[in-house]
Chains A and B, each alone.
Chain A
Amino acid sequence: MTGKTRDGKGSFGRVSRRQFVAGASALGVAAGLTPFGSRQAMAAGEVKVLNWQGYGTDEKWALEAFKKATGLDVVHEYYNSESEMITKLQTNPGAYDVIVTNSAWNDRASELGVIQPIDTAQISHFGDLNPAFRDSDLLGADGKVYGVSWVWGITAVAYSTEVFKETPKSLEALWDAKNAKRVSFRDDAIEAVSFAAIATGQDMNHPKDLAKVKEKLLALKPNLAMLWSSEDDWNKQFQAKAFDISIYWSGSALRSKNNFKLPVGFVVPDEGAVGWFDGLAIGKDAPNAEGAHKFIDYMIDPTFYVEWATKVGAPASANNAAMGALPESDDKTLYSDQAAIKRLQFMAPLTDEERQAYSDLWAEVKTEFAK
Chain B
Amino acid sequence: MKNFADAGIRFYLILVLVFLYLPILVMALLAFNKSPLYALPFEFDLVWFKALAENDRLLKAGLNSVLIALANTVIATSLGTMAAVAFGRYTFRGKTMMQALLFPPIAIPWLVIGTAMLVFFFWIGRAIGYPGIARGLHAILLGHVALSLPYVIFVVGARLNDYPKALEEAAATLGATPWQVFRRISVPILAPGVVAASLFAFAVSFDQFVISYFLAPPGVTTLPVEIYTSIRKGFTPEINAISTIIILVSMGLMLIVARFYRFGGERSGNE
Contact = CB atoms under 8 A, between A and B. Distances in A.
Contacts, number: 118
B228 interface: yes
B214 A235 contact: no
Given A87-B115, A87-B118, A96 B218 contact: yes
Nearest to A238: B37
A54 B225 contact: no
A49 to B, nearest CB: 8
A310 interface: no
Interface residues of B, number: 38
B218 A53 contact: no
B257 interface: no
Contacts of A12: 232
B38 A55 contact: no
Contact of A6 (B35, B209, B218): B209
A66 interface: no
A304 interface: no
A99 to B, nearest CB: 11
B133 to A, nearest CB: 12
B229 A79 contact: yes
A52 B218 contact: no
Contacts of A255: 233
Interface string B222-233: 001110111111
B219 interface: yes
Interface stretch (A23-31, A70-78, A327-335): A70-78
B214 A52 contact: no
Given A76-B219, A91-B119, A1 B232 contact: no
Contacts of A235: 37, 234
B36 A260 contact: yes
A54 B233 contact: yes
B231 A230 contact: yes
Given A1-B207, A88-B214, A236 B231 contact: no
A5 B229 contact: no
B59 to A, nearest CB: 14
A54 B232 CA distance: 6
A6 B210 contact: yes
A31 B226 CA distance: 37
Contact of A1 (B37, B203, B230): B203
Nearest to B217: A95
Interface in A77-109: 77-80, 87-88, 90-93, 95-96
A258 interface: no
Given A5-B209, A93-B131, A232-B233, A76 B218 contact: yes
Contacts of B230: 8, 53-54, 232
Nearest to B37: A239
Given A2-B207, A260-B36, A77 B231 contact: no
Contacts of B229: 8, 52-53, 78-80
B199 to A, nearest CB: 12
A92 B132 CA distance: 7
Contacts of A221: none
B228 to A, nearest CB: 6
Of A48, A80, A88, A91, most B-chain CB atoms within 10 Å: A91
B37 A4 contact: no
B51 to A, nearest CB: 11
B49 interface: no
B207 A77 contact: no
B137 to A, nearest CB: 15
A78 B235 CA distance: 14
16 contacts: A4-B109, A4-B110, A8-B229, A48-B218, A75-B219, A77-B219, A91-B214, A92-B131, A95-B135, A96-B218, A231-B234, A232-B230, A235-B37, A236-B234, A240-B39, A255-B233
Interface of B: 35-39, 109-111, 115, 118-119, 122, 131, 134-135, 203-204, 207-210, 213-214, 216-219, 224-226, 228-235
Interface of A: 1-2, 4-10, 12, 46, 48-50, 52-55, 75-80, 87-88, 90-93, 95-96, 229-233, 235-236, 239-240, 252, 255, 260, 262
Given A48-B219, A53-B233, A96-B218, 9 more contacts: A2-B207, A4-B109, A49-B218, A52-B231, A53-B226, A53-B232, A80-B213, A235-B37, A235-B234
